[in-house]
A = this chain, B = another copy of it.
Amino acid sequence: MSSVSLKDVAAAADVSFQTVSKVLNGKGSVAPKTRSRILEAAGSLGYVPNALARSLQGTSTHTIGVISTDFSRPEVALNIVGIEHEARRHDVAVIIGSLDPDGTDCERYLRVMLERRVDGVIMNAPATEHYPRVGELLRDSFTAVSLHEVAGGGVPVVRPNAQDSGLLPTRHLLQLGHTRIATITGQAGRRITEHRTEGYRRALEQRSVAFDATIVEPGEWTVEGGYAATHRLLDRAEDVTAIYVQNDRMAIGALSALHDRGLRVPDDCSVVGCDGVAESARTIPPLTTVHIPFHETGETATRLLLDIISGQSKPRSITLPVSMVYRSSTASPQPR
């Protein structure tokens, strides 16, 4: 472990350690001879500046915290990768915390971020969107940007257009001629689920198709959840001719369930996913879905956070556009 300090370099170059500091930071003026002597000493000693000591008197730690829901889900991972890429572009380090499913450990993580004096925090924790204490902490003690709503508001939110994520695919199905369109939703009680469902509902309304709560089935975001939800749905309403599944992983489960029931996609039932994960291109059949810019969302949130920290930008929320990806899991309803 490197523990060569400025003083060590100074001793080797026979100058004061403050002069070394100047040279290494390119500040002040130093005699060329001294400078090169110092540079050489630093090089041969393998000097590496101590970022902690540096942060101690500066105002910035060049570090941000990311508190995220379990990022083994690919969409979430893409968010984080986007965040990390943008942070790195600005020479900012990222400390990460991954929450348990209920987000009950969020405050603990926030505390850690406080102790480490991060310059700001990016929240990607839908589970905490109704926790007032988290919202309070974020507003009072941090410069923060969130990818989901925050209890009590007051924190800039950067996210893909969730309502369009429901509206676009539903409209697509309507345009194909479907009228019995079911939806398999994400986790109940989450804003993002509400928004996607709201988009679905609005698309129906625009075409004067009645919303029917009996063909709205929760699927928990998981492959298995989507599989089970599809069975429950079709056990109850076999006249459904199309399903908008609120994420691709559940859609993979839905395709499997449909297949197990002897139903052909899209002939007997159309399916639209949401998210645009890589796998969706090669499901059987390839999945029509909504492309959500997860990576870009992470980048944008980070850029905003960094701009707010540096005073270059005022806090504001940003919504990113989503777009349809048409593949072969959707078609006009066939007479049966």
Question: Looking at chain A, what size class is its interface with the partner chain?
Answer: 35 or more
Q: Tell me whether A202 is interfacial, beta carbon within 8 Å.
A: no
Q: Does A22 sit at the interface, judged by CB under 8 A?
A: no
**CB of A18 within 8 Å of the partner chain:** no
Of the residues B46, B52, B142, B295, contact of A116 by C-beta under 8 Å: B52
Partner of A141, one of B2, B94, B114, B142: B2
Give chain B residues whose Cβ lies under 8 Å from the Cβ of A78.
72
- A243 at the B interface (CB under 8 A): no
Within 21-58 of A, Cβ neighbours of B (below 8 Å) are at 46, 48-53, 55-56
A234 to chain B, nearest CB (A): 16
Find out whether the CB atom of B84 lies under 8 angstroms from the CB atom of A97: yes
Complex contact A81–B98 (CB within 8 A): yes
CB distance from A334 to the nearest CB of B (A): 20
Closest to A142 in B: B1
B48 and A115 form a contact (CB under 8 A): yes
A12 within 8 A of B: no
Pick from B77, B93, B141, B282: contact of A223, CB below 8 A.
B282
In the complex, the answer to whether B114 meets A2 with C-beta atoms within 8 Å is yes
Contact in complex: A96, B97 (CB < 8 Å): no
Contact partner of A224 among B94, B255, B281, CB < 8 A? B281
Q: How many copies does the complex hold?
A: 2
Residues of B within 8 A of A223 (CB): 278-279, 281-282
Complex contact B256–A286 (CB within 8 A): yes
* A81 and B88 in contact, given A49-B115, A255-B284, A259-B284 (Cβ under 8 angstroms): no
Which 10 residue pairs are nearest across A and B when measured between Cβ atoms?
A: A256-B282, A51-B115, A77-B77, A72-B77, A52-B52, A48-B114, A284-B284, A72-B78, A223-B278, A84-B98
What are 27 A-to-B residue pairs whose CB atoms are below 8 Å? A2-B114, A48-B115, A49-B115, A50-B56, A50-B115, A50-B117, A52-B116, A71-B77, A71-B80, A73-B77, A74-B77, A84-B96, A84-B97, A88-B97, A93-B112, A95-B95, A95-B96, A223-B278, A223-B282, A224-B282, A227-B282, A252-B279, A253-B282, A256-B282, A283-B283, A283-B284, A284-B284
